[in-house]
Amino acid sequence: MYLILLGAPGAGKGTQAATLVKEFGLAHISTGDLFRENVAKGTELGLLAKQYMDRGALVPDDVTVRMLLERLARPDTAKGVMLDGFPRTIDQAEALAKALQPQGKKIDGVMYIKVPNEALITRLSGRLTCRTCGMVYHVKFSPPKVSGVCDKDGGELFTRPDDTVETAKKRLDVYFAQTSPLIEYYTTRGVLTEINGDQDVDAVGAELVKAVEAIG
Ligand code: AP5
Ligand code: MG
Ligand code: ZN
């Protein structure tokens, strides 16, 4: 099963992917997380990606597609994948379809998590991310048990450098210009399901589970 979680920055893609992949035995592939791992390790790819991420812009398609296809080739993807933050442009979507086709695979479902714009900045500016496992928290909506520490592994929680109000706004502009056309793209192809992301985390999760089950 090849699934895509589509939605604006702060819509809850990472939050929901974390539980959904366990439920359905899928590999969670977040291109944002992959870039951040490379930034943390100081790889050549990380150094390049950082220049774009820090200003809220997209990393160029060729670099992103190459990284994604390498990740898709790893054995943990055998039961299927949940893509989070990819594709982000029509060109990325086309490159993905083209790569899957020779293997007899296709995108089975796209879950579009819809959240009102006003809520997105509040979510992003209060987000805390675990340096070790990438798990996300929110200072108000889902705080960790102990301040500054990940519940799961005790890792240090930090604020992503692109979660300042200024950069978050830039990311939203980029989303509306370059990523939101994918809503129509996948609707036309009959694979998009809209999920109401303006509910608490568990309610959104329940809607997503139903949508994935409906795909089979
Ligand atoms: P990426 O890491 O993908 O960031 P994003 O798409 O901007 O999405 P976010 O991770 O910010 O939001 P999310 O939807 O995962 O929300 P979350 O669950 O954390 O990309 C970062 C950068 O990498 C890009 O800007 C770009 O430079 C580069 N990049 C990545 N992929 C790329 C690609 N394909 N092509 C080119 N460049 C790429 O939730 C947010 C907050 O809200 C959290 O605090 C959470 O606790 C809270 N929250 C979640 N759900 C709820 C709820 N229901 N109610 C209340 N609060 C909630
Ligand atoms: Mg995320
Ligand atoms: Zn952690």
Query: Which pLDDT score, from 0 to 100, does residue 216 have?
Result: 72
- Give the other-Cβ count within 10 Å of 15's Cβ: 25
- Cα(29) to centroid of ligand 2, in Å? 10
Is the predicted pLDDT of residue 28 greater than 80, yes or no? Answer: yes
Decide if pLDDT at 141 tops 90: yes
DSSP string, 167-193: HHHHHHHHIIIIITHHHHHHHHTT-EE
Q: Which ligand is nearest to the CA of 202?
A: 1
Question: What is the longest distance spanned by two Cα atoms in the chain?
Answer: 48
Nearest CA to ligand 1 atom 54: 200
The dihedral formed by the CA atoms of 178, 3, 36 and 15, expressed in degrees to the nearest 10: 100
Tokens of 212: 């994935």
> Which residue numbers are catalytic?
13, 88, 127, 160, 171
Return the ligand number nearest the Cα of 33. 1
Give, for ligand 1, the residue of 4, 5, 6, 13 to mutate: max count of ligand atoms closer than 8 Å to Cβ: 13
Domains of the chain by residue range = 2-26+79-116+174-215
Is 125's C-beta closer than 6 angstroms to any atom of ligand 1?
no
pLDDT given at position 207: 98
Q: Which fold has domain 2-26+79-116+174-215?
A: Rossmann fold (3.40.50)
- 82 forms beta bridges with 3, 28
**How do residues 151-210 score in pLDDT, each as one tens digit?**
999 999 999 999 999 999 999 999 999 999 999 999 999 999 999 999 999 999 999 999
Tens digits of per-residue pLDDT, 94-129?
999 999 999 999 999 999 999 999 999 999 999 999
Pocket lining: 109 vs ligand 1, CB cutoff 6 Å: no
Cα distance between residue 69 and residue 101, in whole Å: 13
Whether a cis peptide bond, with omega within 30° of 0, leads into 60 is: no
Q: Is the CB of residue 68 below 6 angstroms from any atom belonging to ligand 1?
A: no
Q: What is the pLDDT of residues 64-87, one digit of tens each?
A: 999 999 999 999 999 999 999 999
Please, is 93 exposed, middle or buried when counting C-beta atoms within 10 Å of its C-beta (0-12, 13-18, 19+)? buried
Q: Which ligand is nearest to the CA of 36?
A: 1
| Distances from the Cα of 173 to the Cα of 43, 58, 90, 130, 183, angstroms | 28, 11, 16, 26, 16
Protein residue with least CA distance to atom 47, ligand 1: 123
pTM: 0.96
**Inter-residue contact 18 to 129 (CB < 8 Å):** no
Mean pLDDT, residues 119-147 taken together = 95
